Chains A and B, each alone.
Chain A
Amino acid sequence: MPKAVVAYVKAVESVMLRIGKGLSIGGIVLLVFILLLEAICRYAFNNPLEWSVELATFVMGTYFFIGGGYVLLTEGHVRMDALYSRWSPRKRAIADVATFFPVGVWLIVFLIGGIRNVEFSLSLGQHSQTPWAPPLAPIKIIMVVGVVLILLQAMACFFRDLSIIRKKPIQ
């Protein structure tokens, strides 16, 4: 594998691991904190928060969108492995390389649709139809970032698989 490709794979993987580390603790702590705060405000101070559930939705959205790439790297997504688990690493790599292309189509379509939606929200200054009325562009941007991350990681996996097929696996 060319040096640049090896560097790319390593850079993406280390970024993913760092994101996963921060997100796994930060995301859930923030989410639970918001939900508890709501319960406390409603009961102890009789003052329900109008923004808590919506904010929690945004945190939740960030949590699993940004986490997608990390979970892909750490093999957290389920495969139907009845055959896959019996194959040699090389055969698995070949299968994954072959199926990368349809998957790439999806991710790119996802990305195009996302970017178009963000542009739309930004140009209109779109706000949510709730009393709190937060702007909607930020969460859409986060979604697009999540798609970019999963695309970058899918490409890193693709290069790793290629290197396995060529019998010079990236260390």
Chain B
Amino acid sequence: MSIAIITVLMFTSMMLLLLTGRQIFMIIAAVGTISALALYGKGATNMAFFGGYSFMGWYPLIALPPFVLMGLTLARSGIADRLFQAIYLWMGGIRGGLAMGDVGFSCLVSMMSGTNVASTVTSGTISLPAMLKRKYDKILAVGVVLAGGGLGFLIPPSVNFILYGVIAKVSIGHLWIAGIVPGFLLAFMYIVYIIIRCRFQPHLGPPVPPEERVGWGDKFRALGAGISPLILIFIVLGLLFMGVTTLLECSAIGAVGALAIAAIYRRLSWPLFKEICDETLKTTTLVLWIFMAALTFSSVFDGLGATHAVEQILYSVGGGPLMIIVVMQLTFILMGMVLDDTAMLFIVAPLYIPIVAKLGFSLVWYGVLYIVNCQMAILTPPFGFTLFILKGVAPKEVTMADIYRSVWPFVVIQAVALALLIRFPQIALWLPSIFFRGAS
């Protein structure tokens, strides 16, 4: 059997089995193991175990649970409410202001949480009801919350960049810095879109009535109350970027700092702490078992020399190195419709990264492209995970159909941003180049 047929068979059976709703990691691992047994016989029995064991050499993964704990603490303890209160008071009076404020809010929550799930849940429970209460257009409000939640992928401390960095063997500090400009560029594009829509269709985002607005004193007081978690984030990231502490130490400092802030505001209780720890264990375990399963799956290809085959297929499209990158992005978008972002990374990245490196492209830049793709992947129906998560936490009047309809304008904006990033790699690479001048 040719490599191409094996590859197609493995991917098709995986996609079909995923439809049964069995846990994703189990399907990926089962397809990988059974293919390996069929291809290599008894020699394949070690592969599943080695997939798991190779983890022990990947130190950056240790930062995962502390960062997840930090994000959950800041999101669950109600500290984020204060931040939104500030945004509400500052932006409410402007047409579409709450929607724009939510984009900013999402950026800030993303900085606190590092995962898009946490930031989508936070926006979905705090700012979505507030917008709906103010008679904002449902479709616009839902879209903003979903798109804003995805910013968590790009803005440090992004957990997905840690995972990519582990696979591509790239410095995670580099990746985080590279994500900043594209992250804010996307946020800016969302805000411009909201301004334009609300300029021509004012009923989409009516301003808060004047009698509910408050004076400057109250505005600044609210801002002060909302800002403490951000100070923590700047300290944690600052320590890392200045080279004072390692990534792992930063994650621990962030976790303890977040708990301390929650305790200072008297929001930390024993039941809440237990709940946060439980959630941390679930998130970490979920991600790492998918990771492990995908390693088993992709190690089947190692034995086949599939990287070479994929390279051949990509070259056969023609059009030079940049075209290959574009084709890779298209495959990401297609796979993102069926797989979640972590599974997509772990299955495809080991195949693509050597090719990207060989073509002479920056792996940091490629990482940013991948992350923007993740944002599209989680938003594109039929299988966008964030969509289901939002449905779970959104007010009752938001239907699944509303959610499906709401994402398209933002997916288009993301595609534009992706094209810009491919055309102008400096958007991602400029900040790291001045930051790490001399270092690399």
Partner-B contacts on A (CB < 8 A): 20, 23-25, 27-28, 31-32, 35-36, 38-39, 53, 56-58, 60-61, 63-65, 67-68, 70-72, 74, 76-85, 87, 92, 95-96, 98-99, 102-103, 105-106, 109-110, 112-114, 116-117, 139-140, 143
Sample of 18 further A-B pairs with CB below 8 A, known A25-B277, A57-B59: A20-B281, A24-B280, A32-B255, A35-B252, A57-B62, A64-B284, A71-B282, A76-B286, A77-B286, A77-B289, A78-B23, A80-B18, A80-B338, A99-B20, A99-B27, A103-B22, A106-B48, A143-B49
Q: CA of A81 to CA of B20 in the docked complex: distance in angstroms?
A: 8
A103 CA to B48 CA, complexed, in Å: 12
Q: Whole-angstrom distance from the CB of A5 to the nearest CB of chain B?
A: 21
Q: Which residues of A contact B285 (CB under 8 A)?
A: 63-64, 67-68, 70-71, 76-77
Q: What residues on B are CB-neighbors of A84 within 8 Å?
A: 20-21
Q: Which residues of A contact B256 (CB under 8 A)?
A: 32, 36
For chain B residues 311-358, which have a beta carbon within 8 Å of chain A? 338-340
**B19 at interface, CB cutoff 8 A:** yes
Q: Is B29 an interface residue (CB 8 A)?
A: yes
Q: Please pick, from B21, B50, B66, B280, the residue contacting A35 in the complex, using a CB distance under 8 A.
A: B66
Contact B338 A116 (CB under 8 A): no
Contact of B286 with A78 in the complex, beta carbons under 8 Å? yes
Q: Is the CB of B252 within 8 A of A80?
A: no
Contact A63 B281 (CB under 8 A): yes
Q: Are A53 and B248 in contact (CB under 8 A)?
A: yes
The reply on B196 being an interface residue by CB < 8 A is no
Of the 9-residue stretches B91-99, B359-367, B381-389, which lies at the interface with chain A? B381-389
Contact flag A39-B249 (CB < 8 Å), given A27-B281, A81-B21, A106-B26: yes
B45 within 8 A of A: yes
Given A25-B277, A63-B281, A143-B49: A106 and B33 interface contact (C-beta under 8 Å)? yes
Which of B25, B44, B52, B286 sits near A65, CB closer than 8 Å? B52
Per a CB cutoff under 8 Å, which of B17, B56, B273, B385 touches A78?
B385
Q: Find out whether the CB atom of A80 lies under 8 angstroms from the CB atom of B383.
A: yes
Evaluate contact between B55 and A71: CB separation under 8 angstroms. Answer: no
A78 to B30, CA, bound (A): 16
**Which residues of chain B are within 8 angstroms of A99 by Cβ–Cβ distance?**
17, 20, 22, 26-27, 30
Task: Give Cα distance in the complex from A68 to B289, angstroms.
Answer: 8
Can you list 13 A-B pairs with a CB-CB distance of less than 8 A?
A27-B281, A35-B251, A35-B252, A61-B55, A64-B281, A77-B23, A80-B339, A96-B20, A98-B20, A99-B27, A102-B31, A103-B30, A117-B53
A76 contacts B251, CB within 8 Å? no
Given contacts A71-B286, A95-B20, A99-B17, contact A114 B49 (CB under 8 A): yes
